[in-house]
């Protein structure tokens, strides 16, 4: 009986909270789906259970989990996929709720140390340039030391920002005035802390010592968690990391001038036969073994340990101690790449700009997710894309999720009226042997679609090569830009400011882009976003699955990404538009129906004339 009474009281409290929002913001739309989701999350928190919920576009999932978190009277961690989403929650949603809700609460945002200026490292660094002088003026005036305060990000930022391997925390002579720790020390007073998935997993690696409390956890954009775990629990060996150590050693009067050229040669002189190399070629590993001998890290460490006994001021002593930590870390990473004994990780090489990087990534995230679960009384996982063909089976298997209640909340949008799905049937399949033909013929279709929509289009590719072909050869009277022409945020700003414009994009633009209204009326998905062969982590996951690789990994992961791309179109109840999918496999393959059934219920068309009729029939606001 107590549970029932508590549940009734809780629902009343939720209704009162949403009524308060409506009173403060009369234009706020009542969404039954949002209340349904908020009620289930509130119940989850109250009963200390776990929940996974897919919330369709337009549900308003951030309020659906933030309001129950505020009302629960329990400290809550909110984890998002990126710093941009952190800022949306903290700079918009939580600020609004503080004003609208009668219940008082506090919140804070925590970012990684590399987002803050490090006073110790800044004192060590110097260059005689106008940019550095301008930066120094900012450093003298800043109250937070946050990178986001800057209107420019200098190339030397990685050398002056916080770095975990170069931080002795409370033992640092600059600890009391440290920008990061000044911010960090106030977090325990907050009711809600907003972090990103990378910090969430770093907290796990630290034995849950990084974040200040562990009661309730909301994981937004949960579909990205597996790949974040994979990257964070891997390692990187790069030119910048080794060069930085050499500069630090030189500053400590260790003779290393003879090492700069060999390090530059190792990372810069290997021929980039392809962007990714897996397995790492033997000649690279042989050269790494030689470089390890030249660096003589054990000898340098002994030298610094002896140097430490000579008596130094606190600043120099801290520099010596953190340098020893960096040496041990670097030595461990080098040995790991030489031995490659960890069967849970995949080892590979990539080219980042003009330099070689050695990387390892965790293949399976199940054990890490299980450890994460153990740190919280209650976990809510949510995203707009968690099911494929109506099932949570994919994410359940990838993370070994057990004991979570499952919930699907549909979108409040009327896709039957607001959207049309165009599926191309006549193009050749986009197989390797048909690449050039598919490029040519799909471009003609893209041109026809852009003409029908009068621009206002986002065209999503699965490869930069295809994007570049389209950008070089398209014939259209509408202005267009491509991903890479300017930074992503500025590119979106350009698109919003130029009516009728067209944006060609790939990778990150498949998700997180929010353009409401007529400015985005057509989303073209040129090809199904199946994982690309040559991605070492994806390839290894497929190999481990054997004959099941397509059914349980390739297909559902592609469906989730397709749904993300589709979600760029309808962003409000007044939006209208067309999603065009040019991959004929949706029509002529045995798995096509599973893909189509995962999309929102909208009318399907197969001719450009139907697209034209749709655009002629929709209401215009300008």
Q: Give the whole-angstrom CA distance, residue 226 versus residue 398.
A: 8
Other beta carbons within 10 angstroms of residue 50's beta carbon come to 19
* Strand duo 76-80 + 192-196: pairing: parallel
**Six token digits for residue 373:** 């679960």
Q: Phi then psi for 526, rounded to 5 degrees?
A: -70, -35
Among 151-155, 369-373, 602-606, the minimum mean pLDDT is found in 151-155
> What pLDDT, on a 0 to 100 scale, did the predictor assign at position 1?
28
Residue-wise pLDDT for 466-484, tens only, equals: 999 999 999 999 999 999 8
Cβ proximity of 523 and 577 under 8 Å? yes
Outline where 156-258 has alpha helix (H). Answer: 157-160, 179-184, 197-205, 225-232, 239-251
The token pair at 245 is: 């150590």
Find tokens 């994460």 and name the residue: 372
Average pLDDT on 614-621 reads 82
Q: Tell me what pLDDT residue 312 has.
A: 67
Distance CA 15, CA 173 (A): 51
Handedness of CA 171, 176, 179, 183 (dihedral sign): positive
In angstroms, the Cα distances linking 620 to 376, 414, 519 are: 49, 17, 11
CB 429 within 8 A of CB 579: no
What are the residues facing 505 on neighbouring strands?
A: 460
> What is the structure's pLDDT at 3?
38
Distances (CA, A) of 551 to 197, 217, 404, 588: 27, 31, 23, 17
**Which pairs with CB-CB distance under 8 Å and at least 24 residues apart come from 331-335?**
331/297, 331/298, 331/301, 333/235, 333/236, 333/237, 334/237, 334/288, 334/291, 334/292, 334/297, 335/292
What secondary structure letter does DSSP report for 598?
T
The residue ranking higher by pLDDT, 188 or 232, is: 232
Least confident of 68-77, 121-130, 195-204, 303-312: 303-312
| Selection from 190, 191, 192, 214 nearest residue 203 by Cα | 214
The residue written with tokens 């990387």 in the block is 359
Check residue 553 and give its pLDDT: 96
Give the three-class secondary structure for 537: helix
Instruction: Tell me what pLDDT residue 4 has.
Output: 40
Query: In b/e form, how buried is each residue of 337-349, taking b as 16+ CB within 10 angstroms?
Result: beeeeeeebbbbb
Q: In whole angstroms, give the CA distance from residue 260 to residue 256.
A: 7
* Residue 388 per-residue DSSP state: B
What DSSP string runs through 542-580? HHHHGGGHIIIIIHHHHHHHHHHHHTTS--STT--EEEE
Rounded Cα gap, residues 465 and 275, in angstroms: 13
Q: C-alpha distances in angstroms, 539 versus 36, 327, 356, 549, 560? A: 39, 33, 21, 10, 18
**Residue 352: which pLDDT band, with cuts at 50, 70 and 90?**
confident
* H-assigned helices in 454-535: 464-473, 488-497
**Least confident segment among 48-62, 258-272, 426-440:** 426-440
Cis previous bond, 571, omega within 30: no
Structure confidence at residue 2 (pLDDT): 35
Provide the token pair at 426: 């006549």
Mean of pLDDT values over 209-237: 95
Residue 336 — left, alpha, or beta (φ > 0 → left; ψ -120 to 50 → alpha)?
Answer: alpha
Q: Please say if the pLDDT value at position 8 is more than 60.
A: no
Reduced to 3 states (helix: H, G, I; strand: E, B; else coil), residue 55 is: strand
pLDDT at 7: 57
Q: Which position has the higher pLDDT, 338 or 322?
A: 338
Q: Angle formed by the axes of helices 297-308 and 282-295, to 10°?
A: 30
CA distance 566 to 252: 55
Please state, in angstroms and rounded to a whole number, the distance separating the CA atoms of residues 296 and 339.
18
285-318 per-residue burial string, b: 16 or more CB within 10 A, e: under 16: bebbeebbeebebeebeeebeebeeeeeeeebbb
For 592-595, the CB contacts below 8 A with 24+ separation are: 594/388, 594/389, 594/555, 594/559, 595/528, 595/555, 595/558, 595/559, 595/562
Q: What is the average pLDDT score of the chain?
A: 91
Read off the pLDDT of each residue in 502-515 and give the average, rounded to a whole number: 87
Report the candidate in 584, 435, 467 with the shortest Cα–Cα distance to residue 458.
Answer: 467
pLDDT, residue 311, reads: 65
pTM higher than 0.75: yes
The CB density around residue 159, as the number of other CB atoms within 10 Å, is 18
The more confident residue out of 148 and 583 is 583
Of 166, 39, 65, 60, residue with least CA distance to 113: 166
576-596 average pLDDT score: 95
Continuous segment of H or E residues that includes residue 64: helix 61-71
User: Beta 235-237 vs 355-362: how paired, if at all?
Assistant: antiparallel
- Give the pLDDT confidence score for residue 554 in this predicted structure: 96
Q: Taking residues 451-470, what's their average pLDDT?
A: 95
pLDDT tens-digit map of 517-572 = 899 999 999 999 998 888 999 999 999 999 999 999 999 999 999 999 999 999 88
Place of tokens 């042989």: 286
Q: What does the chain come to in residues?
A: 622
Return the pLDDT at 317: 87
Q: What pLDDT, in 10s, does the model give residues 242-253?
A: 998 999 999 898
């Amino acid at each position: 009986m107590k549970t029932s009474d508590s549940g009734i009281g809780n629902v009343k409290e939720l209704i009162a909270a949403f009524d308060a929002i409506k009173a403060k913001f009369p234009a706020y739309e009542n969404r039954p789906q949002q209340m349904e989701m908020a009620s289930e999350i509130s119940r989850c928190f109250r009963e200390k259970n776990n929940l996974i919920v897919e919330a369709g576009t337009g549900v308003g999932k951030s309020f659906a989990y933030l309001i129950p978190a505020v009302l629960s009277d329990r400290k809550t961690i909110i984890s998002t996929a990126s710093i941009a989403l952190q800022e949306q929650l903290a700079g918009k949603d939580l600020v609004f709720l503080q004003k609208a809700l009668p219940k008082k609460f506090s919140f804070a945002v925590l970012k990684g140390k590399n987002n803050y200026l490090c006073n110790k490292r800044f004192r060590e660094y110097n260059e005689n340039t106008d940019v550095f002088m301008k930066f120094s003026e900012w450093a003298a005036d800043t109250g937070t030391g946050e990178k986001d305060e800057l209107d420019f990000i200098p190339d030397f930022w990685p050398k002056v920002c916080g770095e975990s391997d170069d931080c002795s925390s409370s033992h640092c002579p600059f600890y009391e005035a440290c920008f990061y720790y000044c911010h960090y020390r106030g977090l325990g007073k907050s009711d809600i802390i907003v972090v990103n998935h990378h910090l969430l997993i770093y907290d796990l690696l630290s034995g849950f010592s990084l974040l200040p409390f562990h009661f309730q956890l909301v994981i937004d954009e949960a579909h990205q968690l597996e790949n974040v775990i994979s990257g964070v629990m891997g390692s990187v060996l790069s030119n910048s990391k080794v060069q930085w150590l050499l500069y630090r050693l030189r500053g400590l009067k260790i003779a290393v001038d003879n090492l700069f050229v060999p390090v530059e040669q190792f990372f810069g002189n290997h021929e980039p036969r392809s962007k990714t190399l897996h397995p790492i070629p033997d000649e690279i590993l042989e050269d790494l073994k030689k470089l390890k001998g030249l660096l003589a890290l054990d000898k340098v460490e002994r030298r610094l340990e002896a140097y430490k006994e000579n008596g130094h001021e606190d600043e120099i002593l801290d520099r010596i101690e953190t340098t020893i930590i960096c040496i041990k870390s670097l030595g461990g990473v080098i040995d790991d790449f030489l031995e490659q004994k960890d069967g849970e990780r995949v080892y590979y090489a990539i080219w980042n700009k003009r330099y070689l990087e050695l990387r390892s990534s965790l293949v399976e995230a199940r054990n890490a997710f299980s450890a994460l679960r153990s740190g919280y009384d209650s976990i809510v996982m949510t995203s707009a894309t968690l099911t494929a063909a109506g099932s949570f089976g994919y994410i359940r298997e990838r993370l070994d999720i057990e004991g979570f209640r499952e919930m699907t909340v549909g979108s409040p949008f009327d896709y039957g009226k607001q959207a049309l799905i165009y599926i191309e049937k006549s193009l050749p399949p986009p197989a390797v042997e048909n690449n050039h033909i598919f490029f040519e013929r799909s471009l003609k279709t893209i041109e026809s679609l852009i003409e029908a929509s009068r621009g206002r289009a986002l065209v999503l590719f699965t490869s930069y090569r295809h994007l570049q072909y389209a950008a070089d050869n398209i014939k259209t009277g509408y202005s267009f830009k491509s991903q890479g022409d300017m930074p992503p945020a500025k590119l979106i700003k350009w698109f919003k400011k130029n009516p009728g414009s067209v944006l060609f994009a790939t990778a990150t633009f498949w998700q997180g882009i929010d353009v409401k209204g007529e400015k985005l009326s057509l989303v073209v998905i040129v090809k199904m976003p199946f994982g690309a062969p040559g991605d070492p982590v994806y390839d290894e996951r497929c190999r481990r699955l054997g004959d099941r690789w397509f059914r349980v990994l390739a297909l559902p992961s592609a469906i989730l990404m397709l749904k993300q791309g589709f979600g760029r179109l309808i962003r409000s109840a007044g939006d209208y538009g067309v999603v065009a999918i040019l991959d004929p496999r949706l029509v002529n393959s045995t798995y096509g129906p599973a893909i189509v059934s995962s999309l929102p219920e909208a009318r399907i068309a197969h001719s450009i004339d139907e697209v034209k009729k749709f655009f002629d029939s929709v209401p215009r606001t300008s």
